[in-house]
Structure 1
Amino acid sequence: MNIWAVGDLQGCCGALDELLEHPLIEKDPHCRFWFAGDLINRGPQSLRTLKRIIKLGDRAVSILGNHDLHMLAVHAGIRNENKSDTFDAILRDKHVDELIDWLRHRPLAHYDAGHLMVHAGVMSKWDLDKTLALAEEAHQALISDKWKKNLQKMYGNEPVQWKDGLSGAKRLRVIINAFTRMRLCTKQGEMDFASKEAPGGSSHAGLVPWFDVPDRKTADIPIIFGHWSTLGLLIRKNLMALDTGCVWGGKLTAMRLSDRKLIQISCKQHGK
């Protein structure tokens, strides 16, 4: 069974439709799809994208990205919509409760076939077991009856480093920030949220991509992630960055895990 890992969609359903109609996909009706988060927002077809993925049923695994969590917070009345948000059609849909319920039940990490998928990154102090346990901990917080209250706890940039003794809001916040927002870190593994640029900028003195933090405990685990469109496509032995800026006029990238075959779809529908 082939698995295709897919970078950030952000509501670009036209590119998703074109991907699903690609000859390599159409000739393999039993293949599976792993979507690396940020399914919706900024692109023009968030509602259609979400429904298209849901329709794939068991063929699709989707994890939560920061844009997906933002919409959950808006729906919950925790945050206001931004001018650049494009998920209003979801919030006005007659099935909004079912759509929100489906989305908040998505995990923050997925591990199978020897590969780990997250939206943004994994903290350097976490090994695979710790990563999956903390992802499940946050997942349980988001599917509980107190999910709206728990969702409020995720806002803020502190703490920037993991400590096993963290509890309450600080613990949940650092877990969610790592999985959905992290890009650059200090060499000691402290998260920095000031920049969304590619590594090496003039303001990045002393900072490295999260995956280059020394002694990272998941260095031997193949990790798939998105979130970082300015980084672009990056494939190493144990690292696959697949956000290639579809919503910004770039490409939607899908990679077959078995042989790292790539499909890239040019996005014709730019986000706001």
Structure 2
Amino acid sequence: MTPPEPSIWMIGDLQGCYQPLRELLSHPDIRADPNARFWFAGDLVNRGPNSLATLKTVMALGDRAVSVLGNHDLHVLAVAAGVRKPGKSDTIDDILGAPDAQEMIDWLRHCPLAHYEQRHLLVHAGVLPKWTTEKTLELAGEVEQALRGPDWKARLAKMYGNEPTQWNDNFRGSKRLRVIINAMTRMRMCDKNGHMEFTFKGAPINNGQLMPWFDVPKRAATQDTIVFGHWSTLGLMLRPDVICLDSGCVWGRQLTAMRLQDHKIVQIPCDQYQEPKDH
């Protein structure tokens, strides 16, 4: 008899919250399947109290885990590369100062920007309205190739900035990669034409001009379910076309996991952990 397929648990932003992660992985519903696999929605590290242990725990899962890159994960790479300075609220010194820091940096820069399986597309922040699933994976591959190459530090240095705010197939070089990274790791709101708006960080609104990226009219990637994090003020959201798993663990709320096969939810309360200073 063919053994059942392993469960896949999709997990929201960790941001260095090691204790909730440990409790989540020990939950009876998750431990029930010893072959369970894990999808992490990015932002494994930073702002929480123990980025090092959190990252090492995910790495130790080996082939059972996949994590897409989030904006905080990219920030670690940028600080390690010397192209960005640490922020006041960063909690990544334990990673950068570790004896095996280079191994962890190399592991992070080999993480995918997007992952697709069983009609679910995993990204950290979102997918531009013009992009199909196939286009998203193709463009993610361009960034992944740049980050995994020998000149990754120089390439990463040119990937930061808010412009352009929209996609054009004719973009080349750093401008092209910047739009891809911004969409998949930073985007929350867009205007009605699908142009990204980066200053808005609150709970979503839709006033006909500004709206969540997933509510832009005529969005292309509607045949699959897009799974993302990044938006703690949106919180846990379950729709047929989109699932948000960032339930604000680092802000003292919950760490959320959802089983892909049946959308069963497991949550770990995080109110006993100290909140970081700001967003």
TM-score computed with the length of structure 1 as normaliser: 0.97
1:40 to 2:45 alignment: yes
1:226 to 2:229 alignment: yes
In structure 2, the partner of 1:269 is 273
What is the identity, as a one-letter code, of the residue corresponding to 1:223? I
Identity of aligned residues (%): 60
Structure 2 distance, partners of 1:87, 1:107, is 21
Structure 1 distance, partners of 2:208, 2:193, is 14
In structure 2, the partner of 1:93 is 98
The correspondence for 2:192, drawn from 175, 187, 196, is 187
1:177 to 2:182 alignment: yes
Q: Is the 8 Å Cα contact of residues 246 and 255 (structure 2) preserved in structure 1? A: yes
In structure 2, the partner of 1:198 is 203
1:257 to 2:260 alignment: yes
Mark the CA change 1:271 to 1:42 in structure 2 (over 3 Å): closer, same or farther: farther
Structure 2 distance, partners of 1:205, 1:88, is 43
Q: Is the 8 Å Cα contact of residues 192 and 208 (structure 2) preserved in structure 1? A: no
Give the unaligned 5+ runs of structure 1.
none
Partner-residue secondary structure (3-state), 1:94:
coil
The correspondence for 1:149, drawn from 123, 146, 154, is 154
Structure 2 distance, partners of 1:78, 1:181, is 18
Q: How many residues align?
A: 270
Q: Which runs of 4+ in 1 moved over 3 A?
A: none
The correspondence for 1:238, drawn from 230, 238, 241, is 241
Give the unaligned 5+ runs of structure 2.
1-5
The correspondence for 1:164, drawn from 169, 180, 184, is 169
Per-residue CA shift, 1:214-237, capped at 9, x if unaligned?
111002211100000000011001
Alignment of 1:27-106 (within 5 A): 27-106=32-111
What is the identity, as a one-letter code, of the residue corresponding to 1:234? M
1:131 to 2:103 alignment: no
Q: Is the 8 Å Cα contact of residues 143 and 177 (structure 2) preserved in structure 1? A: yes
Deviation at 1:271, TM superposition (A): 3.7
Structure 1 distance, partners of 2:208, 2:53, is 42
Deviation at 1:58, TM superposition (A): 1.0
Structure 1 distance, partners of 2:153, 2:131, is 27
What is the identity, as a one-letter code, of the residue corresponding to 2:262? D
Per-residue CA shift, 1:12-48, capped at 9, x if unaligned?
0100000010001112111100000000000001000
Q: Is the 8 Å Cα contact of residues 16 and 51 (structure 2) preserved in structure 1? A: yes
In structure 2, the partner of 1:211 is 214
